Every structure is written in structure tokens, then in C-alpha cells.
Structure 1
Amino acid sequence: METLELIDKVHDEDRQGEPFAPIAIEPNIYKKKFYIESYGCAMNFADSEIVASILSNEGFGATKNFEEADLVLVNTCSIREKAEATVRKRLTEFKKAKQAKRGMLVGILGCMAERLKGKLLEEEKLVDLVIGPDAYRTLPALIQDAESGQKGVNVLLSREETYGDIAPIRLDSNGVNSFVSIMRGCNNMCSFCVVPFTRGRERSRDAFSIINECKDLFDNGYREVTLLGQNVDSYYWVDEQKDMVVTFAKLLEMVANISPLLRVRFSTSHPKDITDEVLFTMARYENICKYIHLPVQSGSTRMLQLMNRTYTREWYMAKVDRIREIMPDCSITSDIIAGFCTETEEDHQDTLSIIEYSKYDMSYMFFYSERPGTLAARRFTDDIPLEVKKRRLNEIVKLQNRLSQHSNFADIGKTFKVLIEGNSKKSENDWAGKSSQNKVVVFPKASYNVNKGDYVNVKITSATGATLLGEIVE
């Protein structure tokens, strides 16, 4: 994969920017139609499902054709400059469609809405609605304002909002995997990150509402849930009436106990917060996937201090050792930033060496993009030339590609329990699914009587850098 492609990748990379259409809704029973595109992290995709539920209750049905929509929404990401540029381009296209369809409203949701509300509304006149991540409940009223010629704006952040009582409408779903949001916001204040300023402070959702949502998904045929949060390991919910405290480890156990047929994943972990209690819980339950996304960002202690990551190089390596000790079969992936402020060649070599040490199965790799409003933008100078950032990123990519290939080749001859998610992208004659370690596995359908949503044992016969290939075994 080319470096310039990699810098655009997100945690839900295969779905970035695709329109969502709720498959459970029949649009013709509704008076109006909405169209929504989502960019960025999995939290944004989960938020779009909440927005779809709110709009459904207001008489809106989904469409995959934005030109016929009465309401066009873009759920945005501010994590990198490239993401914002992509959204601006789309908003310009929607503005042209609006000129052709009288009465169409265009709105922007999410992190970019929070950060650029005035510019998008007044200076560029690209949108009619601006709704921050904590203001989705006010969307119906804001639509009424916009229909009357006013600008509909609400970007207020909340210390309580979790949307725990809203049943999301599953959008563009395969009926097998689903996201479940367990908390919102972030308290970590990493210096490069805009999330604390666009999504607010951390708050955890009612544990029983999470369990009920997961049970409902399982009862409706879903076989895997991914628990979402900016930092899931800091989940902490207290039921004062029952004198009950639910930590993330306890929540994992509660979800795992819904059924042994329900797989449980989670994203994302901050290295400082993932505990032995979580690791031992993962090891104890077969249906909790042996996969941890553990962003390192840099292998240099000096860089980590500037990034305000609150751990050292040595501490992170010890955490990797602990994961391997408790779960030798656990897959570890990471996020890595090349060319952060003042990064030297020695710092860069430290990053390469920690990647080699951790033996990540996969990483999301980017060069640093300064985000206005962050601590880094206020405190540091973005002083690494672009060509140096790209060269360092390219070296990181090459190393990770080698490690990913080595990891996959090491699985040849092994047998994995795979959850079938649907047809392979390349052939309807093959199934595709994932192992507990979150690796994509492709195998022939042959004459086996199995279906999407079933578990099968697959013996790996060959591999590429990105995919395991195999065949079903008894």
C-alpha cells in the first residue's frame, strides 16, 4: 500500500465515506428522505446510527441517492487535515445538488461541526445545519429552524449525554457485526489530538442499557459486537441504588455471558489504562476476542512526553510483554505517528525498534498533521519538513508490511475458529470472515452446509500480507 493512501486510513477503513442506508427501513412509508455519509473513526459510524433512529421517529426514511434527499448530512472527522479537505469537497458537491432541488437542507455533524461551525455557516455558506456530537437529540428542532430560513446550530458539549436510551438503527449492516457505544468523550489530552475539544469530557453509559442493546443484537441474529469508546479501558459506571460498580473488565464479562455464541471485541485501549483484570477476563472467556488495539504513537520516550502520552518507551514494552504472558495468542495492533514536532532521526529509529519489538500484526500509520486548537498547535512548532515526514512514514510502512506478512505466514498450518461475515469481496464462491485475532480469513464454500453468521473451523493453507487463505475442516 502506498504511503499517501495509508495516511487517509481510519479504524473502519473499508467503510470510510460510504453513505449509510438503513436496511431495516422501507423509505416509501416516510414523508421525507435523508442521506448520510460518515467519515473517521468507528464512533462516528455508531453516531450515524443514533441520528438515523432520531430521524426515523421524525418521519424520515433513508436513501442512497443524495440528489433525491430532503436532508443531506455529513458526519465528520477532524483528526487529520486530509479528512477535513475531503468533507469540504463533498459539501461543495451537495451545495450544487441543493441548488437543483428546492427545499433540500445540508447539515454537518460531529467533530468538524464542533470545530468549524462559524466558517462553514457564514463564510463559506456550505451548510444549513451544524450539530455537535452531544446535540443530536435537538436535530428535529434544528431542522424546523432551517426550514424556516434560520441557521440550525447546536454544538454544546455535555457532561451527561450518552444516548443510552436511543436504539440505533443498524445502517449498511451485514447482520453479523455491530458497534455498541459504551462511553463518550476523552480525558487524556494527548497534545496532538483534537478529540477532547470536539467530543468533550469522558462519561460512561449505563451498563444495563449496554447489555440490553447487546442482547437485542444477539436475539436478532448478530454474532459479534464491538464495544466502542475513545478509551474503553477507563469505562466506569456506578449504580448507587444497587451499590454496584462496573469496570471495563466487569462489563466485558457481562457481555460475554450473554451467550458463548456472541463474540466480543473492543476499541480503543489507552496503554496506561488496560489492566491485568481486563487481560485475565479476556483470557478466561473464549468468546472475548484475543485482539487488542494498543496505540503507541511513538517509540521515543522524549516524543511520548511531548505527546502527553503519560508512559515511557520501557513501560509500553513491559505492557506488551504482559499481554503476551497472559495471552500468548493475542494479536496486537497499533497507531503510529511519523514526524511529530522536533522528532529527530534517533527518535524515528526508536519508533522503528518498538514496532519491531512489539511485532504488531497491523498498524494505522500516519505522518503528523497539526490540528488547530490542540495543545501541540499552541505549544510546539510543526517543524519537520513534509518530505522528511513522508520518508519516515514510508520506512514505518515497509517495516509493518514485513511484520504483517511474517505474522500471517506463521499462521499457515494452524486452524482457527472463524465467524462467517459474508461473501469474499473477490468471489461469491468463497466465504470471508475473521478469526478471534481479527485477521481476515477467506475460504471456499465448496459443498459445506454453512451460512453467514455461522462459526467454522478453518485450516490456513496460504497467506498474503493482509489475508489468510484456508479451507473448512471438521
Structure 2
Amino acid sequence: MLDLDTKVHDESRQGEAFSPATTGTQTYTKKFYIESYGCAMNFNDSEIVASILGAEGYGPTRNAEEASLILLNTCSIREKAEQTVRKRLTEFKKIKQQTPGMLVGVLGCMAERIKGKLLEEEKLVDLVVGPDAYRSLPALIAEAGSGQKSVNVLLSREETYGDISPVRLDNNGVTSFVSIMRGCNNMCTFCVVPFTRGRERSRDAHSIVREAAELFANGYREVTLLGQNVDSYYWNNDDGSETVTFAMLLERVALINPLLRVRFSTSHPKDITDEVLFTMMKYDNICNYIHLPVQSGSSRILQLMNRTYTREWYIKKVNRIRELIPDCGLSTDIITGFCSETEEDHQETLSLMEFARYDLAYMYFYSERPGTLAERRYQDDVPEDVKKRRLAEVVELYRGHSQASMEKEVGKIFNVLVEGTSKRSDEQLFGRNDQNKVIVFPRENFKKGDYVMVKVESCTSGTLIGKAMQ
């Protein structure tokens, strides 16, 4: 999910069309085109959708013009992401006018909030499907094909799609996501997720382990256990005879094979436990990397955000992680300019960054989202130019920390999982170390999926450059 370029966002991840390369030899009678926006959960959802559509005779294509069904899997986290989706829908409307029978649909987090506008006012789509309603896609497509507008945005307290094997729509073949839970119970005031994805529910632990084992058998060598808040994973079987916590699940996946690397995201600071940290210490194939969003360094702002921890509590958690796992990579999310944020609050964020010295950071200025608790309770009163100036200061400080983080690795030797060919040269391969840092090194006779011991010889702000040990 994460790469090691500097992450500076006032929008969500841009749309990505999937390739049909990994869908096997099955012959499809119809084609679908899908673009995904936002978090890794959305991209994983698109793979679930591909599996459901595959059973209906649809195969994926990268060419929207040849598709009979175009889908946009949307994100509501940032305003600009919604603007991008609207722009794309306008473009697809033109394609549809020249292609009889083509259907256009919106999936995911934007579905509930703006379904009326998309269907009736702007007439940009034929179907709108929420994140818990993907099983109804075949019926909705049939309904839309008859000329009706089709909508299902109902949220579920049970749906986890645990019995559906996602179609791996990427070209990597080495790393993959495995969704372990859906929804969120943390009512952070700036966040729309509880309203767009519903309440938290954990997936059957056995189905998770089975999916990860199948991925390993099919050549994958790394899985990322995925959830809005993975540390709160908690599953009971139907008769109550078995309970699985996140630490227990992490161990079960690690035991599949020592050659299967295990990562996880995202961790809420209030929920990550010593039990999880001890499990990470116990197994070499659980990567020493934690994404621990802080959002703000000010306890006052954290309280307004309903993050349920203070600045001091967060610092203690970071200290505990580094006490138990000294070489643990640490990344975060930071929002500047949240409601009523003062210069003093901002300086507290900068000072916390100086303490944590993150290896990777996702940095945003606050964008009020309709339907959130913050919209109802607080005034978005920090001017945009102030938000952007504070963001620039956060980014500048982070870049210095990132550069120092990379420089301290020069001269060290890391076990690197090869993920593919470097974008800059076919003669170079790239992979990541335990701490999620990208390392580039000469191809020689190595191939994708290999583990290679690499000595780091130099670095840029986002990449380690090394040479394989002979």
C-alpha cells in the first residue's frame, strides 16, 4: 500500500485502472473497466468486485472504450478526490453516448452521500452500489440494463466477504492485501468512514489464514493484513468456543511459512498492544514496521478529533514500540489546520514530529467532509492559506527526518524481497526491507519473488541504493 516517495496529500490516491493479467485463462463474454480511488481497502474491494463479476462472465480490461461496464470505486476522504471522480464520470458519459448498452456505475464511499445527484440531477451513472452491497451487483446490473436506475447502499453489521476469493488485479504477483475486517467504531470527528463503511466487524479467522496460505501457494511472498483499525480485530466463532485476537491472527498467518512476509495496516494508537509487539518480536517474517497515525501533536486538537488519546499517551506508545523493537519503522498521518487549530497547537505537532522522527508520513491539510461529526459540531475556521502554510512547514520538517532516516541505513545489510524491475532501469530491481524502505540494486541473476541480501551503498530521500551480497 505504501511506497517510499514523500507523501504530501490534499487529496486521496488517484484512480488506478486494473490489468487483467492475473485473471487466468478463463474466457469472458463481457468486459468491465474499474478505477479505484483512496485507501488500500478500496483497492481490495475492487478485487472482490472482480470476483463477483467474473462469476457473471465479466473479465477486466484496461481500455474503457471496449468495456460494457465501467465502475469507479470511490473515496470520500478528500474533497479533491470527489472532484476527480466527477470529472471522470463526465468523460465516461461521452464514451457511453457512443457505445450502446454500456453501463456506468459508482461503488464505495461516495455512493450513499451523493447517489441522488449522480443518478437524477446530473445523470452521470446507471447504478450506485455501497461497500456492503457488492453481492447484489449482478441483479443491479440487470436492473440497470433494463433502463432503471439501480441503487443499493445499505450498510451491514455482518458482511465481510470472507467467503469470496478476490481476483488479484495487480501485475505484481509477489505482494497482496488480505482484508481482515470492515467498518470502524472509532468516531473520529474528521472522518466519514463510520458513516460510509458502517460498524466494525471482524472476518472469520480461518478464512483469512486460508486466503493467505493460498496466496503463498500461488507464488506470493508478502501479505498485508488490512483493516480500518487492525488492532481491534476480534473474532468469535458461532458457538463461542474459539476467540481470536489480532495478535493471535498475526501469529497464525506468520506460521503459514517462514518465507511469507507479513505486514499490517492501519493501527490505532489506542489499540496496539504489547501482545502484538511481542508477536512481532517472536517471528522474523512479521515485518518491523507500524503505521501509527497521530493526526495532531496537540492534546486539545486530539480531543476535538475524538482520537481518545493525548500527546503524552502517544509518546509513551512510541517509546514502548522502540523499547521492544528498536529498529521498527514508524509512519504516520498528520492533518494541519483542523478546526480552531492555533499556532501553539501547530508548534506542538512540529515538536512531536521532532520526537518521533517518522520514516514515512502522509500529510494533509484539513478538508471538511459533509456528514462528519466535525461538520456538525465545529466551525472550519482556519483559513486555507494558513492550513497550507502549516502543511508546508510539516512537510519541510518531515523531509529532513526522512533524509536522515535513509542516510542512517547506508552501510547496513538488509534482506530484501524483490517486487519487480525499477521504473528507472530494466537493469535494476527493487524491493523493500523489513522497515518498508525501498531498496534498488543491480538485477544480476535475481528475479521477482527472491529474497536477496543487499548492502546499502547510498540513498536518496526516498530510496536506498545498494548491491547484492555475493
Q: Tell me which interval the TM-score lies in, with the shorter structure as reference length.
A: over 0.9
Structure 1 length normalisation: TM-score? Answer: 0.96
Aligned equivalent of 1:272:
270
Aligned residue among 301, 310, 313 for 2:311: 313
SS of 1:96's equivalent in the other structure is: helix
Aligned equivalent of 2:369:
371
Aligned residue among 330, 333, 341 for 2:331: 333
Aligned equivalent of 2:3:
none
Q: Using the alignment, how far apart are the partners of 2:64 and 2:7 within structure 1?
A: 26
TM superposition shift of 1:23:
1.6
Q: Percent identity?
A: 70
TM superposition shift of 1:240:
4.4
TM superposition shift of 1:436:
0.7
SS of 1:29's equivalent in the other structure is: coil
- Give the counterpart letter for 1:221 in structure 2: G
Aligned equivalent of 1:71:
69
C-alpha offsets along residues 11-66 of structure 1, whole Å, 9 cap, x if unaligned? xx5xx311012323368821111000000000000000000000000011111100
Q: Using the alignment, how far apart are the partners of 1:187 and 1:198 within structure 2?
A: 12
User: Cα distance 1:185–1:28, how it changes in 2: closer, same or farther (>3 A)?
Assistant: closer
Q: Using the alignment, how far apart are the partners of 2:238 and 2:121 within structure 1?
A: 48
Q: Using the alignment, how far apart are the partners of 1:197 and 1:466 within structure 2?
A: 35
Are 2:181 and 1:183 equivalent residues in the alignment? Answer: yes
Are 2:464 and 1:462 equivalent residues in the alignment? Answer: no
> Which segment drifts farther, 297-306 or 235-244?
235-244
C-alpha offsets along residues 334-358 of structure 1, whole Å, 9 cap, x if unaligned? 0000000000000000000111101
- Map residues 325-474 of structure 1 onto 2, 5 A cutoff: 325-446=323-444, 449-474=445-470
User: Cα distance 1:27–1:63, how it changes in 2: closer, same or farther (>3 A)?
Assistant: farther
C-alpha offsets along residues 100-146 of structure 1, whole Å, 9 cap, x if unaligned? 10110000000011221111111111100100000000000000100
SS of 2:235's equivalent in the other structure is: strand
C-alpha offsets along residues 349-380 of structure 1, whole Å, 9 cap, x if unaligned? 00001111011001000000000000000000
User: Cα distance 1:9–1:263, how it changes in 2: closer, same or farther (>3 A)?
Assistant: farther
CA RMSD of aligned residues (A): 1.3
Contact 1:27 1:61 in 2 (8 A): no
Q: Using the alignment, how far apart are the partners of 2:348 and 2:20 within structure 1?
A: 45
SS of 2:110's equivalent in the other structure is: helix
Q: Using the alignment, how far apart are the partners of 1:320 and 1:22 within structure 2?
A: 41
Contact 1:27 1:33 in 2 (8 A): no
Q: Using the alignment, how far apart are the partners of 1:169 and 1:198 within structure 2?
A: 24
Aligned residue among 97, 100, 115 for 2:98: 100
Aligned equivalent of 1:17:
15
C-alpha offsets along residues 384-418 of structure 1, whole Å, 9 cap, x if unaligned? 01100000000000000000000000000011110
- Give the counterpart letter for 2:245 in structure 1: T
Q: Using the alignment, how far apart are the partners of 2:276 and 2:202 within structure 1?
A: 17
Aligned equivalent of 2:8:
6
Q: Using the alignment, how far apart are the partners of 2:42 and 2:23 within structure 1?
A: 20
Aligned residue among 37, 56, 59 for 1:58: 56
SS of 1:75's equivalent in the other structure is: strand
TM superposition shift of 1:450:
2.1
Contact 1:8 1:83 in 2 (8 A): no
Q: Using the alignment, how far apart are the partners of 2:22 and 2:294 within structure 1?
A: 39
Q: Using the alignment, how far apart are the partners of 2:431 and 2:369 within structure 1?
A: 36
Aligned equivalent of 1:48:
46
- Map residues 134-213 of structure 1 onto 2, 5 A cutoff: 134-213=132-211
Q: Using the alignment, how far apart are the partners of 1:273 and 1:213 within structure 2?
A: 25
Contact 1:176 1:223 in 2 (8 A): yes
Q: Using the alignment, how far apart are the partners of 1:171 and 1:304 within structure 2?
A: 38
Q: Using the alignment, how far apart are the partners of 2:20 and 2:109 within structure 1?
A: 23
- Map residues 201-280 of structure 1 onto 2, 5 A cutoff: 201-241=199-239, 243-280=241-278
Aligned residue among 280, 285, 288 for 1:287: 285
User: Cα distance 1:243–1:456, how it changes in 2: closer, same or farther (>3 A)?
Assistant: same
How many residue pairs are counted as aligned between the two chains? 465
Aligned equivalent of 1:300:
298
Q: Which runs of 5+ in 1 are unaligned?
A: none
SS of 2:140's equivalent in the other structure is: helix
User: Cα distance 1:27–1:119, how it changes in 2: closer, same or farther (>3 A)?
Assistant: farther
Structure 2 length normalisation: TM-score? Answer: 0.97
Contact 1:181 1:228 in 2 (8 A): yes
Contact 2:108 2:131 in 1 (8 A): yes
C-alpha offsets along residues 433-463 of structure 1, whole Å, 9 cap, x if unaligned? 00010000000123xx321101011110001
Contact 2:18 2:35 in 1 (8 A): yes
